[in-house]
Amino acid sequence: MVIRTRVIVVVLWIVSLLGVGAITHAQSQAKEFRRLSEPRVMTGGDVGFRVEGTYGEMPTGTLVIRVNGQWVEAMVGTPGIGK
């Protein structure tokens, strides 16, 4: 290859890397976590989901259960199994 052709290929490669980087950066910035001012519990009796914020359009939070009238965080699974 002639040196000029190699330089053109390298420049195009660098430009393509910068373009892909800019696109992926813009995609990652589109979704950000937004915390609610006060968490809300969506409930079905004694089991609920405490919505603490949103990630883009998706609600995020914690699985909770009611114990003695108080909502406490639930743990799914058995501790220590599989470790």
Q: What is the pTM of this model?
A: 0.51
What confidence tier does 13 reach under pLDDT thresholds 50, 70, 90? very high
Give 55's pLDDT tier (boundaries 50, 70, 90).
confident
Mean pLDDT (whole number) for 11-20? 92
Instruction: Decide which of 74 and 25 is more confident.
Output: 74
Domain ranges of the chain: 1-30, 33-75
Residues 6+ apart with CB under 8 A from 39: 50, 51, 52, 61
pLDDT tens digits for range 19-52: 888 888 766 655 677 888 887 888 788 889 888 8
Contacts of 79 (CB under 8 A, 6+ apart): none
Residues contacting 50, CB < 8 A, separation 6+: 39, 40, 41, 42, 61, 62, 63, 64, 71, 73
Residue 53: beta bridge partners? Answer: 35, 60
